[in-house]
Amino acid sequence: MKQRDFLPVSQKDMEERGWYEADFVLVTGDAYCDHPSFGTAIISRELEAHGYKVAVLAQPDFHSADDFRRFGRPRLGFLINSGNVDSMVNHYSVFKHRRRRDEYSPGGRTGRRPDRAVIVYANRAREAYKDVPILIGGLEASLRRLAHYDYWEDKVRRSILLDAKADLLMYGMGERSVVEIADALAAGIAVSDIRWIRGTCYRSKVSLIEQEIADDPENDTVLLPSYREVSTDKSRYCDSFAISYRNNDYLAGSRLVEPYDHDLCVVQNPPQEPLSRQELDDVYERPYAGTYHPMYEKEGGVPGMNEVKFSIVSVRGCFGGCAFCALTYHQGREVRSRSLESIVKEAKRLTERSDFKGYIHDIGGPTANFREPACEKQLTEGVCKNKDCLYPSVCGNMKVDHSDYVAVLRAVRALPKVKKVFIRSGIRYDYVMADQSDEFLREVCKYHVSGVLKVAPEHISPKVLRHMRKPSKEVFTAFAEKYAQINREIGKKQYLIPYLISSHPGSTLNDAVELAVFLKKTGFVPDQVQDFYPTPGTLSTCMYYTEMDPFTKKKVYVAKSLEEKRMQRALMHFNKPENRKVVKAALLQAGRGDLIEYLLGRR
């Protein structure tokens, strides 16, 4: 891959293109990977397609402003993101230990980006050029767009827009927003006057917003509790979260205003409409290089590319509604997908790569087997504000149809050089069970599993599942039985491995014991156990911080001590010798000494 296939990363690259200046300098905390699994690649290629010149400043030296002057003064602004992952999650484990590896840095080495990267980068960019517009976006900015609980400081922080001292914040998937902002800036409109674009947040005065509402009684604006309230009163934090949660749809969402001291407020415009199928096709058919920049070759490349290099994003949005997932807050609950033709075209391009071995690692997205909005109503009225699509059971209005996804899988695996197509982004088994036809699951078992299918029941305790907004244990066991039955019918010996979460809000030590007994009885061996990680933007994080359900204000038990977290985790891997001592202590503490021999055997 020749370097000119990438966007400029140096002054020399700009000169070779005949550029005297860049319209935008895009700053990112990740190494530069020109692949559509990276937001930096999508945003930069989208701007390029609309005629803008973008230079990429990947993992700049953040100790001074010097690196931020690498390309000279950008004509229109700096675009800043922390990378594909929140920088604090990237740096720290759930136990707040510094991670030893960074999958999105050359050679997996750490230390190439700062903590709270968006804030640090934005302030360095301002130091470099004081009057150049600072536009922040990506996951870190999106999930921190309003006041939010910060697990690492154990407090409620202000909107990142204020701490970064940025001019505008783009939340959600920003392709449309960034082009609209670019067009406005190119037309000579001051960044301080760009206040109408959906999917953005900006600073204003509370008094101005109140006057707007007084002048126009039909103005669809909702005043949130103030930062002072949410940072000192957990009940008010719940109120604010509930309002924000219910206004995250482009049709049903209102403009939100969060007041701060001294007449300052952060205004969140309603979300952007999700991209249409044609628009999604266009985004994913831009001329991506499809890999990391060759400047990283000498350092061993970028590990994060390995998982996605031969994967295809086919869908956006998720109506799954898991409480611990921030995806709906970022991408929204309305599902949109690419066309079969576009997906097959990308698959053909992958098969033509010299390093293609015959395997497509994934065709999916947040949830692989969602391809359309949950129901027709979502297209005209938006998503329901007070009702979930799959929880506590599948909504009667839902369209359950896997035929389009089956057609996609068949078309890709029929390509001459394709040996196998995997589905690594996961399937919702409750949606599968709601399907009257077994065709999809049969296809999965026959063609898309290599011995093991991983699904995510997360827990089995009714109380915990209720707080997770996940289906009942019975749905999972019914799916497991159907999966086993189909494998018997097609003559394959394939297994089911569950993903589980320990110490989720609502989970007591007794709930963890209940799960351990279930695993022992059924023989399921969890492949991965994730300690609950309170990240910004999720319902579960709100419950963790407030110890309340934000919609009912009922108390929620939260395991916060390190000792109990270790016990809950060890119980899920009770069969590991190194966990024996902790599991025994947990059983005794839970008053279930009668289970010691059953779970641990005699010694």
Q: Which domains does the chain have, with CATH numbers?
A: 3-199 (3.40.50.280), 310-448 (3.30.750.210), 449-603 (3.30.750.200)
pLDDT at 365 over 50: yes
> How would DSSP label each residue in 118-153?
HHHHHHHHHHH-TTS-EEE-HHHHHHTSS-EEETTT
- Picking from 266, 323, 217, the residue whose alpha carbon sits closest to that of residue 550 is 323
Label residue 50 by pLDDT band (50, 70, 90).
very high
Mean per-residue pLDDT, 406-426:
95
Write the CA distances from 262 to 119, 158, 226, 278, integer angstroms: 22, 14, 12, 45
Q: What is the mean pLDDT of residues 40-48?
A: 98
Q: What confidence score (pLDDT) does residue 3 get?
A: 38
**Could you tell me which of 454, 462, 534 has the C-alpha nearest to residue 500?**
454
Residue 200 has pLDDT above 70, yes or no: yes
447-480 pLDDT tens trace: 999 889 999 999 999 999 999 999 999 999 999 9
What percent of the chain has pLDDT above 90? 94
551 — phi, psi (to 5°)? -90, -25
Average pLDDT, integer, range 55-59: 98
- How far is it, in rounded angstroms, from Cα 41 to Cα 6? 10
Find residue 155's DSSP bridge partners. Answer: 150
**Residue 4 pLDDT > 60, yes or no?**
no
Q: Residue 1: its pLDDT value, please?
A: 36
Give which of 596, 593, 5 is closest to 294, Cα–Cα: 5
- Whether the pTM exceeds 0.85: the reply is yes
pLDDT at 81 over 80: yes
- Summary mean pLDDT of the chain: 95
pLDDT at residue 603 greater than cutoff 70:
no
Whether the predicted pLDDT of 539 surpasses 90: yes
The 3-state DSSP composition of the chain as helix, strand, coil percent (nearest 5) reads 40, 15, 45
Among 2-11, 70-79, 136-145, 214-223, the least confident range: 2-11
Distance CA 88, CA 535 (A): 9
pLDDT attached to residue 528: 75
Give the full edge-to-edge strand order of the sheet including 255-259: 54-58, 24-28, 77-81, 134-136, 168-170, 200-205, 264-268, 255-259, 221-223
Read off the pLDDT band of 2 (50, 70, 90): very low
Rounded to whole angstroms, how far apart are CA atoms 333 and 331? 7
**In this predicted structure, what is the pLDDT of residue 126?**
98
Give per-residue pLDDT as tens, 245-268: 999 999 999 999 999 999 999 999
Does residue 411 have a pLDDT over 60?
Answer: yes
* 226 Cβ neighbours under 8 A, 6+ residues apart: 258, 259, 260
- Contact, 540 vs 505, CB < 8 A? yes
What amino acid occupies position 442?
Answer: R
Question: Predicted confidence band at 425 (pLDDT cuts at 50, 70, 90)?
Answer: confident
Q: What is the per-residue pLDDT across 301-322, written as a single tens digit (0 to 9) for each?
A: 999 999 899 999 999 999 999 9
- What is the mean predicted confidence (pLDDT) over 467-495? 96
Confidence check: pLDDT of 141 > 90: yes
The answer on pLDDT for 49 being more than 70 is yes
pLDDT bracket for residue 120 (50, 70, 90): very high
